[in-house]
Structure 1
């Protein structure tokens, strides 16, 4: 099991997820805005505060929108999967 912690200005929520699960649903239920869900629009940009190594590799869609992974700690929530451990994000 993996733990996802999502922080916003007014609250923090924690989710227990199966390894390999998409983080899109818990992010959306926490208030992260979504639109296309295909990695094209960039509406669901999140900032990874801790545990980036526990997320899936950048998708081609993320690289196209955000640039190379080493340039930023931003990810597209619709494209990320959590592989284990603990990940803390904000939006």
Structure 2
């Protein structure tokens, strides 16, 4: 199991699973869930290497994965990831 942290909250997520449900439950705002609106834009505070590769939707949004990701597009591979909502 991997761990997703948002602020003072943390939740276990199965390795390889999309993080959107866990992130939303911990306060990251969502809207479209398909990578087009940008509502779930999040700063990756730590554990960037534990996230899946940047998706085409994120690239189309202008992201390269170095600092920010769209939470609806990320899968956690393993380990721990800490996010902070950009909004």
Q: TM-score, normalising length from structure 1?
A: 0.88
Aligned residues: 85
Q: Which residue of 1 aligns with 2:84?
A: 90
List gaps (5 residues or longer) in structure 2.
none
- SS state of the match for residue 38, structure 2? coil
Cα distance in 1, alignment partners of residues 38 and 70 from structure 2: 7
Please list the CA deviations of residues 10-42 of structure 1 after superposition, one character each: whole Å capped at 9, or x if unmatched.
xx1111111001110011111211111000010
CA RMSD, 1 decimal: 1.0
Cα distance in 1, alignment partners of residues 59 and 26 from structure 2: 25
Runs of at least 4 residues off by over 3 Å? none
- SS state of the match for residue 25, structure 1? helix
Q: Does 1:78 align with 2:69?
A: no
Query: What is the aligned counterpart of 2:9 among 13, 23, 40?
Result: 13
Q: TM-score, normalising length from structure 2?
A: 0.91
- SS state of the match for residue 66, structure 1? coil
Please list the CA deviations of residues 34-65 of structure 1 after superposition, one character each: whole Å capped at 9, or x if unmatched.
11100001010011010100000000000110
